Structure 1
Amino acid sequence: MEPRPEYEVCPVCKLDTYMNPSMRFLINTECYHKMCESCVDRLYSQGPAPCPYPTCTRTLRKNRFKRQTFADVAVEREIDVRKRVAQVFNRRREEFESLKDYNDYLEEVETAIFNLVNKVDVDGTEAKLKAYEEANKQQIADNLNMQSREAEMAELERKTEEDRRRQQREEAVEETLAEQAMKRQVERNVIDSLANGTDGDAESVVRKVTAAAQKTVLKKSSARRGAREVSQSFEDHALSMISHVPTRVSTPVLKEGPYDPMEGEDYISDLYSVKPHYYDPFLDNIEKSRQAQAAGFRVTNVYEQVLMDAFMGLGCFIETEKKSVQ
């Protein structure tokens, strides 16, 4: 009986998950060929051995096998390559003097990843990675240490936020239970006071008991709120003390981008003012249409553009500007 298509089959031992539902498949980062966990133990428990795939010549080790995360092996391989390259090329934006230098560096990193993923000049790329790692060993270690500290800080902030939310939920439950208990106590006090008949009529008894209960509730809620604010201030102070991560002193980065001759101008002219409406049946019909309203069309934008174009050349004397330039 052949296995169904939806069941996975080990290409080495030919067993499938239909007969062995607990079967787990592993891949090796050397060649990314898949085989079951039993075959991995049987072939590589005694040490390194060749890959059992007929066309593969790689030597595999047991400690390099891992569970497959993505269904597509190509995606799995690219993710592993990116992680490995990122361990070496881990420079940051603040280490570069200009944005162009940083973009050139990123392009170099992506070129190395593309070569390794698509098996283009693999030997040359590997040699380049090794040479860069040897030349920048201390800088790479510093960046890895900084990344580790940043990850620890992010995890600490996440746990602190989770604890804060859990505490808020617990306090909300406690307040609800306390409110319910207080209501039951008020009901008992009202009944006892009415039964004794010593505190006046029923309305005055209810008002007196309710006022006393509200005073008690406000006192308890104020105490809980004060304790929560003190705890919050201590948490914020602790986070501010340990969240300091040393950064490198870098040269100021100049603003990149195309030159804008009108930068700083507010495009407001004293020569004219734009009225909210002008007589123009054509524009009025467009503005009232549903298509224009849905697209966000505003007739005032047309008025502003037309007036700006009409007054654009006023006050500009070319001969005077030529003399000032010369």
Structure 2
Amino acid sequence: MDDQACPRCKTTKYRNPSLKMLVNVCGHTLCENCVDLLFLKGSGSCPECKIPLRRTNFRVQMFEDPMVEKEVNIRKRILRDFNKREEDFATLREYNDYLEEIETIIYNLANNIDVVETNKRIEQYKRDNKEQIAKSKSKLGRSEYELEEMIELERQKEEERRIELVREDAEAKKKKIREKEALIDELTFSDANAKNIVESFASAIQMQKKEVKASLPAARVTQFSTGIKFGNQGNQNYLPMPKIEEGPLYSYTPIWQQIEGPTPPGWRELQSRGYVSHIRNESQAERAGGFKAHVACLRALQEAMAGLYHNPSQRQTEFTTV
């Protein structure tokens, strides 16, 4: 939007940060100053497409592409009359054809395709469905009115909750002040030990807090569609920790691999027998990633020796000593 410019006066957002672009039903944009100048008498023609326009129909451009603004305006205007619902049709196919017709009309008007014929189709539809359009508009008006009533009721409840929270907060502050004043008076006029007085006041406050917490309603626990609960994690019951005297829950079994060949060397034999003498050492980056040349060498030897004595013609392979 920063490089957007008025097509008439060529003013850009860079030169005038407060530039406000307006758009009309034709989809062509003008800055607010040019609109005030060209449409001083309330009506005029678009500088680009020359169609007659009215000043009252200009609105602030919301989208970067003016064609999107044009399509949105056309869609709103068309859907005010093409307001049938799925239940108004006998089959789903008829409803889909109706939606496809709406999209065709919007596309033609947005792209200036057969505008005259498209407007004739719209007027014919209005004449044929005059009663249905009026009924749907009244139904839509009632739905919007009910929705506004629900929103207003929710707003009133929210305001009442806010006032109640403010009142409770003010009462809590007053109560703290009274408790502090009572403690000061007790310390000033009582002959008892000051430490005992403070401890008794502290224990009384803790008891009041526990009573208030116990009187509060339980936290509402909601759950995902999978049934996993969330919102009250502090009260979840977990499995107890296993006890040592009950025995281990898992016993490790070493991995055993059947080798049909000579026994490969072990990890410590790689260096002593010279297996790694002709292997490139790992770099610092490879070592940081957990790679070592000994690992690659050991795996290569194991794979090379694993099937040396394998005889596919026999079910049992005899192992011999090399």
TM-score range, shorter chain: 0.5 to 0.7
SS in 1 for 2:64: coil
Aligned residue number for residue 269 of structure 2: none
CA distance in 2 between partners of 1:107 and 1:15 (Å)? 41
2:45 maps to 1:50: yes
CA distance in 2 between partners of 1:63 and 1:136 (Å)? 29
- State the Cα deviation string for residues 200-246 of structure 1 (Å, max 9, x = none): x967x958x959x96xx98xx99xx9xxxxxxxxxxxxxxxxxxxxx
SS in 2 for 1:174: helix
Quick one: which amino acid aligns to residue 156 of structure 2?
A: D
Aligned length: 212
Aligned residue number for residue 315 of structure 2: none
Which of 6, 14, 36 is 1:10 aligned to? 6
Q: Give the C-alpha shift of residue 123 in structure 1.
A: 2.1
Which of 25, 32, 40 is 1:37 aligned to? 32
Q: Judging changes above 3 Å, is the alpha-carbon distance between structure 1 residues 192 and 83 closer, same or farther for their aligned structure 2 residues?
A: same
Quick one: which amino acid aligns to residue 97 of structure 1?
A: A
Preserved contact between residue 48 and residue 60 of structure 1 (Cα < 8 Å)? yes
Which of 77, 81, 87 is 1:84 aligned to? 77
CA distance in 2 between partners of 1:148 and 1:137 (Å)? 17
Aligned residue number for residue 144 of structure 1: 137
Aligned residue number for residue 170 of structure 1: 163
Aligned residue number for residue 60 of structure 2: 67
Aligned residue number for residue 26 of structure 1: 22
Preserved contact between residue 50 and residue 57 of structure 1 (Cα < 8 Å)? yes
Consecutive unaligned residues of structure 1, counting only runs of 5 or more, are: 226-326
Aligned residue number for residue 126 of structure 1: 119
Consecutive unaligned residues of structure 2, counting only runs of 5 or more, are: 218-322
Identity over the aligned pairs, expressed in percent? 36
- State the Cα deviation string for residues 50-82 of structure 1 (Å, max 9, x = none): 3322xx242223222222111111211111121
CA distance in 1 between partners of 2:90 and 2:41 (Å)? 53
Aligned residue number for residue 290 of structure 2: none
Which of 94, 97, 111 is 1:101 aligned to? 94
Quick one: which amino acid aligns to residue 154 of structure 1?
A: L
Preserved contact between residue 186 and residue 210 of structure 1 (Cα < 8 Å)? no
Quick one: which amino acid aligns to residue 83 of structure 1?
A: K
Comparing both structures, which one devotes a greater share of its residues to helix? Answer: 1
TM-score in terms of structure 1 length: 0.54
- State the Cα deviation string for residues 281-320 of structure 1 (Å, max 9, x = none): xxxxxxxxxxxxxxxxxxxxxxxxxxxxxxxxxxxxxxxx
Which of 133, 136, 159 is 2:152 aligned to? 159
Range 75-84 or range 187-196, more displaced? 187-196
Aligned residue number for residue 116 of structure 1: 109
Q: Give the C-alpha shift of residue 147 in structure 1.
A: 1.6
Which of 163, 175, 188 is 1:182 aligned to? 175
Preserved contact between residue 22 and residue 60 of structure 2 (Cα < 8 Å)? yes
Give the structure with higher Rg (CA). Answer: 2
Q: Give the C-alpha shift of residue 182 in structure 1.
A: 1.6
Tell me how large the CA RMSD over aligned residues is. Answer: 3.7
Quick one: which amino acid aligns to residue 175 of structure 1?
A: E
Preserved contact between residue 190 and residue 206 of structure 1 (Cα < 8 Å)? no
SS in 2 for 1:35: strand
CA distance in 2 between partners of 1:104 and 1:59 (Å)? 34
